[in-house]
Structure 1
Amino acid sequence: MPTADDIRWFKQQFRFEIEAALAGTPFDLDMIVAIACQETGYIWAALRRKHLPLDRVVALCVGDTIDYRGPGEGRQAFPRTRQALIDWPNGEAMFAIARKALVDVAPFIPDYRNAAGNPKKFCHGFGVFQRDLQFFKEDPGYFLQRRYERFADTLAHCLGELRRGLRKLGFESRTSLTDLEFAMVAIVYNTGRYDPAKRLKQGHLSDGKYYGEWIFEYLKLSRTVDAGRAVATGRYVVIARGGLKLRGGPGTNFDSDKTLPAGTELNVIEVDSHDPSWVRVDLEADGLFDGYVFASFLAPAEQHVAAREDVLEPA
């Protein structure tokens, strides 16, 4: 189960992208975080501690290896089995991708190691928000081109499915939702339907709770998490009065042979995937990496008027 620290990391990494995509919808950041926690939180929460690049963390968010086990048991949607996938146009290529996805994630997530040892097993869910392989029939390019490995693409499909949930519930004209109403939409996202009599006890059952109950719990937790001051890529200025050390890695344990004076302008080219309080920077505007700095002592260049006084870089 993702913790508050995991959620803070997720918000710091993806807040800008999510909030930009939510314009004109009744959803908010915490609602999307709740979906991400329930769908692949057990994966990205573990991967973020492995010092992997952020794009690799996103690419490894795959899962669901359950096959058809009979009527009402196991997977019921296409493809029920390896053979069902292979028999479909481009199915051999898709199986190779889905199989490799499982083999790639298994070393990091122990729950997948047994499945990875079975050559017939493969992943059915792809992307941070887990688009199911049943959609391969109608949108093969999304899977064959591995667009699920890009956060923007998996987020776009998530929002599309959530909008479908709004329509099914008659919420399409809403400009906002209560947390309970969003949990209802999320249940439709998971199951395709909502039964008012069952309230939150609907959707996939795991660890003693239904999908709707987990969504509601993650949403409540996310609302308590402040992501802090986030930095996106772009142009910034140093605002540490005594200057800001340029380091060889994301932490004070890395050596520094240069201090950037207050007022120095630079480009942030990447937020560290393990610790978003550190960013990679380009000093010459040539697209090349020059080092890491502590993000709290940067301000957007277009908004900067004067450096803050009495601010010291951490030792």
Structure 2
Amino acid sequence: MPNADDIAWFKQQFSTQINAGLTGTPFDVDMLTAIACQETGEVWPILRKKLPVDRVVALCVGDTIDFQGPGKGRQAFPRTKDALLAVPNGDEMFDVARKALDDMSVFIKSYQGAASNPNKFCHGYGVFQRDIQFFKDDPDYFLQRRYENFPDTLAQCLGELKRGLAKRGFQNRTSLTDFEFATVAIAYNRGSYNADKGLKQGFFDGEKFYGERIFDFVTLSRSVGAAAASAAPLMAGRYVVMARGGLKLRGGPGTNFDAERTLSAGAELNVIASPGIDPAWAHVDLEGDGLLDGFVFASFLAPVGANGQGNAPAPN
């Protein structure tokens, strides 16, 4: 399960992007961090120590439980491999789902048993876990592997949480208590909330229910202060892009600024010292002429080594 160090890392990497998406909602970074801890907390705390951030996000998949009878195991579509193969593009989706399991299980030992069964595949996708039951309604999200992009998986999570707000009658609220948020998360997890049961609702892991875990994770996340979670600004100097799919150059320090172009993996640039700028972002000069070209997300940069090649950043 994620600990305080894991949560500090998560905030370092994603707080800026999360905050950009929270406008007009009663949620905060600690609440979204709690969802990530509960949904994929068995995956990213391990991956973060071995892989660059973009790869960590891409491998945040899970849930291989199949139908085991009425009221047991998976009840939603697709209950089994055969059920998935029976729908349009189901064979293509199975290939995606199976590869996701194979790739993730290389690093997560608890999934290696499932990976040894050729009929098993992942049912949950993205840091915040969008369920494969939505494949029928939104096949492109899964087939195009949009869950591998943090802003996309965040947007899906916020959409589901907003539906949870409506089910709780909180859609006009500008703030929530942590208990109220946990009840919204229960609706996010199971589709409804029963006030008589309090937080003892949602998936039961053998010790606690989903609602209880969410409340605990929010509490833990709030204990990780801003100082511990703040990314240190990059020193001025020469850096290389380490994002496998490229890195967006934006007009300002935030995802709310338009992307002007995408810098390819391996591209080199100069980081310019810019006091007062959010340290999660780097102010860069692409041409080496002292002129500023825009901002990139700092976590995807690594110092250029003496041999001119980038050195992968050490995990936090």
> Once the two structures are superposed, what CA deviation does each residue of 1:160-204 show, in whole Å capped at 9, x if it has no partner?
000000101110010000000000000000000000010000000
How many angstroms does 1:41 deviate by?
A: 1.3
The offset of 1:100, in angstroms, is 0.4
Instruction: Give, in whole Å, the separation in 2 of the partners of 1:185 and 1:261.
Output: 43
2:22 corresponds to which residue?
22
Are the aligned partners of 1:246 and 1:291 in contact in 2 as well (CA < 8 Å)?
no
Contact 1:231/1:271 (<8 A) preserved: no
Rate the CA distance shift 1:200–1:83 in 2: closer, same or farther, 3 A: same
Please give the per-residue CA displacement for 1:246-280, whole angstroms capped at 9, x wherever unaligned: 799x9xxxxxxxxx99889962755447xxxxx53
1:128 and 1:74 map into 2 onto residues whose CA distance is 22
For residues 57-96 of structure 1, what are the structure 2 equivalents within 5 Å? Answer: 57-96=56-95
Give how far 1:107 is off: 1.4
- Describe how 1:162-173 pairs up with structure 2 within 5 A: 162-173=161-172
Q: 2:183 corresponds to which residue?
A: 184
Name the SS of the counterpart of 2:48 in structure 1.
Answer: helix
Give the Å deviation of 1:207.
Answer: 3.9
Give the 3 Å change call, closer, same or farther, for CA 266–131 of structure 1 in structure 2: closer
1:68 alignment partner, SS class = coil
Q: How many residues align?
A: 266
**Alpha-carbon distance in structure 2 between the residues aligned to 1:184 and 1:17:** 24
Do residues 280 (structure 1) and 302 (structure 2) align? yes
Identity %: 58
2:124 matched residue in structure 1:
125
Query: Which one-letter code corresponds to 2:302 in the other structure?
Result: R
1:293 Cα deviation from its structure 2 partner: 10
What CA deviation, in whole Å up to 9, does each residue of 1:32-51 have, x standing for no partner? 0000000001100000011x
Task: Determine if contact 1:202/1:211 at 8 Å carries over to the other structure.
Answer: yes
Is residue 2:143 matched to residue 1:144?
yes
1:48-63 to 2 correspondences below 5 Å: 48-50=48-50, 52-63=51-62
User: How far 1:227 sits from its partner (Å)?
Assistant: 4.2
Q: Is the 8 A contact 1:97 1:144 kept in 2?
A: yes
Map 1:1-315; keep pairs closer than 5 Å. 1-50=1-50, 52-228=51-227, 230-231=230-231, 267=284, 269-272=296-299, 280=302
Which residue identity is paired with 2:37? C
Q: Which runs of at least 4 in structure 1 moved beyond 4 Å after TM superposition? A: 244-248, 260-266, 288-294
The amino acid that maps onto 2:86 is D
Following TM superposition, by how much is the alpha carbon of 1:226 offset from its aligned partner in structure 2, in angstroms? 2.0
**Secondary structure of 1:159's partner?**
helix
Match of 2:264 in 1: none
Question: Alignment partner of 1:280: what SS?
Answer: strand
Call closer, same or farther: CA 1:80–1:227 in 2, change over 3 Å. same
SS of the residue corresponding to residue 70 of structure 1 reads: coil
> What's the TM-score once normalised by structure 1's chain length?
0.77
CA spacing shift, 1:280–1:210, aligned 2, 3 Å: same
Task: Quote the offset at 1:127 in angstroms.
Answer: 0.3
Partner SS, residue 223 of structure 2: coil
Shift of 1:53: 1.6
Unaligned runs of 5+ in 2: 243-270, 276-281, 285-294
Inter-partner Cα distance in structure 2 for 1:245 and 1:84: 54
Question: Is the 1:12–1:230 contact (alpha carbons within 8 Å) kept by the matching residues of 2?
Answer: yes
What residue identity is the alignment partner of 1:202?
A: Q
Deviation track 1:85-139 (CA, whole Å, cap 9, x = no partner) reads 0010000000000000000011111110011000000000000000000000100
Over the aligned positions, Cα root-mean-square deviation in angstroms equals 3.1
Distance 1:151 1:237, change over 3 A: closer
Whole-angstrom CA distance in 2 between matches of 1:293 and 1:62:
23
TM-score by length of 2: 0.77
Kindly indicate whether the alpha-carbon contact (under 8 Å) linking 2:239 and 2:302 is maintained by their aligned counterparts in 1.
Answer: no
For 2:274 and 2:169, how far apart are their aligned partners in 1?
A: 53
Report the Cα distance in structure 1 between the residues aligned to 2:309 and 2:183, rounded to whole angstroms. 45
Based on CA coordinates, which of the two structures has the bigger radius of gyration? Answer: 1
**Cα gap change, 1:76/1:262 in structure 2, threshold over 3 Å: closer, same or farther?**
closer
Give yes or no for contact 2:31–2:181 (8 Å, CA) kept in 1. yes
Q: Which amino acid aligns with 1:74?
A: G
